[in-house]
Amino acid sequence: MIDLIGAPYDLSGPMLGSRIGPWAMRLLGFAQALRDLGLTVNDLGDAFPLSNEVPSRLAKRYAEGISACKALRKSVSTSLKKGNLPVVMGGDHSLAMGTVAGALDVYGDDLAVVWIDAHMDLNTPDTTPSGNMHGMPLAALALLEPGMHYGRAEKWSNALTEAWSEILADVVPRPGLRKSNVAWIGLRDVDEGEVRNQEGMPGSLVLTMQDIDRLTAPGAIKALADWTASTGAKKLWISFDVDALDPIFAPGTGTAVRGGLTYREGHLLAETLHEMGFGENAPFQIVGVDLVEVNPLHDNKGETARVAIEWASSLFGKTIMHTKAV
């Protein structure tokens, strides 16, 4: 059974609007699209209330993000313990600190994360160029301590440093996500500090858009399958940021970067992940999914919410000739 969970929070990115992403996906028929595949779908509603406030103080924004992540951690671990498959609709990508934390509560070292995104989201408070927490969730999940890369002292530092300590202490369960158990796909906008942080994560896999161009999509998918086997992990969390897709196909998102996955490259990836992660003979088990950074306020007639629904349908087994999941 699929548990749909809304996560209406968007204060960790530069642009407001993804807090209503879950509602755009609901109104465009996400649950029904999955039911049409023969799946049982339960929409649990939102993990925390949708707010119409826009606090100006950074400390308040971070505090709301932390409480959103705590609520999600609980919703996700509850869903997993029931044997269900949580699909979390964001919201911005900082929410993955909560969703993956919930999966870590249940699976620990057996969990690996496939991060499909234009960005690494691996900044620590000392490397972030923006102070935006949606660029930092993987660093928190891997419990990366701030280093001394830049010694930045911008205005966000104090509030961010405090929020970071709280996240590492209260949101992410020890010992955190194994540093080898992260694969990135679709990268094309990476910060210098993120590259250094990734150097401290041996065994993790980086597939940039250059890699996808050179290997082609099937070659990149083979590299992903080999990496997954190398981690020893059997449970996969798929964290899909719609900005992995080229802005031609997903214009409604906070930090669009051109040069992304084409519509079909994205779908081939979803279709192959389906084969890898579902069914009795599959080598791995997909245990949960994030669909984040759908921003209806910057969208073009609902295209981005629609493409997220279509991508998720492929992940859950829709193919061109067989619309029912197998």
Tell me the catalytic residues.
93, 117, 119, 121, 134, 241, 243, 293
Min CB(132)–Mn ion separation in Å: 10
Distance CA 144, CA 89 (A): 26
Residues comprising the chain, all counted: 326
**How many C-alpha atoms does 150 have within 13 Å on its Cβ side?**
17
CB 160 within 8 A of CB 205: no
- Choose the stretch contacting Mn ion; rule: CB under 5 A; options: 114-122, 175-183, 222-230, 267-275: 114-122
Determine, following the binding rule CB under 5 A, whether residue 290 of this chain makes contact with Mn ion: no
Which residue from 241, 265, 271, 290 is in contact with Mn ion, where contact means CB under 5 A? Answer: 241
* Two tokens, residue 134: 């949606």
Determine, following the binding rule CB under 5 A, whether residue 267 of this chain makes contact with Mn ion: no
- Choose the stretch contacting Mn ion; rule: CB under 5 A; options: 120-128, 194-202, 222-230, 317-325: 120-128
Distance CA 35, CA 39 (A): 5
Is 192 in a helix, a strand, or coil? helix
Determine, following the binding rule CB under 5 A, whether residue 121 of this chain makes contact with Mn ion: yes
Which residues partner with 292 through β-bridges? 241
Min CB(225)–Mn ion separation in Å: 23
Applying CB under 5 A, the site for Mn ion has a residue count of 4
Min CB(122)–Mn ion separation in Å: 10
Q: Of 117, 30, 92, which Cα lies nearest the Cα of 306?
A: 30
Question: CA–CA distance from 43 to each of 6, 73, 212 (Å)?
Answer: 8, 17, 35
The residue type at 171: V
Distance CA 285, CA 234 (A): 6
- Choose the stretch contacting Mn ion; rule: CB under 5 A; options: 49-57, 71-79, 81-89, 235-243: 235-243
- Restricting to residues 128-147, name those near Mn ion by CB under 5 A: none
Between residues 37 and 312, which has the closer beta carbon with respect to Mn ion? 312
Determine, following the binding rule CB under 5 A, whether residue 318 of this chain makes contact with Mn ion: no
| Per-residue contact flags (x/-) with Mn ion for residues 79 to 98, judged by CB under 5 A | --------------x-----
Between residues 73 and 93, which has the closer beta carbon with respect to Mn ion? 93
* Two tokens, residue 256: 């669009």
Distance CA 304, CA 179 (A): 31
Between residues 3 and 189, which has the closer beta carbon with respect to Mn ion? 189
Question: CA–CA distance from 227 to each of 202, 204, 234, 298 (Å)?
Answer: 12, 8, 12, 35
Distance CA 12, CA 231 (A): 30
Determine, following the binding rule CB under 5 A, whether residue 117 of this chain makes contact with Mn ion: yes
Between residues 117 and 265, which has the closer beta carbon with respect to Mn ion? 117
Min CB(83)–Mn ion separation in Å: 28
Min CB(97)–Mn ion separation in Å: 12
Between residues 168 and 292, which has the closer beta carbon with respect to Mn ion? 292
Q: What is the 3-state secondary structure (H, E, C) of 142-180?
A: CCCCCCCCCCCCCCCHHHHHHHHHHHHHHHCCCCCCCCC
| Per-residue contact flags (x/-) with Mn ion for residues 42 to 71, judged by CB under 5 A | ------------------------------
- Choose the stretch contacting Mn ion; rule: CB under 5 A; options: 38-46, 59-67, 206-214, 233-241: 233-241
Q: What is the bridge-based pairing of β-strands 235-241 and 85-90? A: unpaired
Q: Which residues of this protein are in contact with Mn ion, per CB under 5 A?
A: 93, 117, 121, 241
